[in-house]
Structure 1
């Protein structure tokens, strides 16, 4: 498939695909005309790359991780790095859950206050258990 087709199928820009190639995250075969061609499996790879970027992993970390995904081989150093990334993501999740809980509390309290004609309370302290 050509670069525009892959971009459309994977939901990314052509520019993103070129960036992935520049950083060793994705490979293509060039036709004699210079056009890039990708296998169908590239769609899943691009989606994985997007997911890893969204989780905050760097290009460098993703490049190190991809061989592990492809052939199942991982060095102890890579496993340590991945554990660190997992822990960082877990902290992000905890923080997001806490923020969501505070917003839920604020919404609930504001709805009750509105129903009885009072002002919305400010963002004070953690939500009650």
Structure 2
């Protein structure tokens, strides 16, 4: 079991959330993937291991993980939510053509919320940064 899975399981237990095999598998899948999967993609990846599991089970667990801050739900205007395990603050580059999402870690933006608050007077609670363009594979086509 990876450290992130173990840490997340402990957080769930601390909050009195029962650890079911499906819940464990969904969490582990999200941690292992860097593809920012949709609920349907998670379902398809796990359906052979859990034939009785429904798409609703995936959505319910994703809602729980999002509420607990383990996962972020991302929408990029394609009417399809993607889910990202929250290990540390990062940003995203999204391909306009194929939809591939790439994580970007840029520590220079750590204080952006404070700067925005200082400049605007807003009580900034969160932020997100997304860049759109063509991924290397789509550029070759």
Would you call these one fold, judging by a TM-score over 0.5?
no
TM superposition score normalised by structure 1: 0.28
More RCO (CA 8 Å, sep 6+): 2
Larger Rg: 1
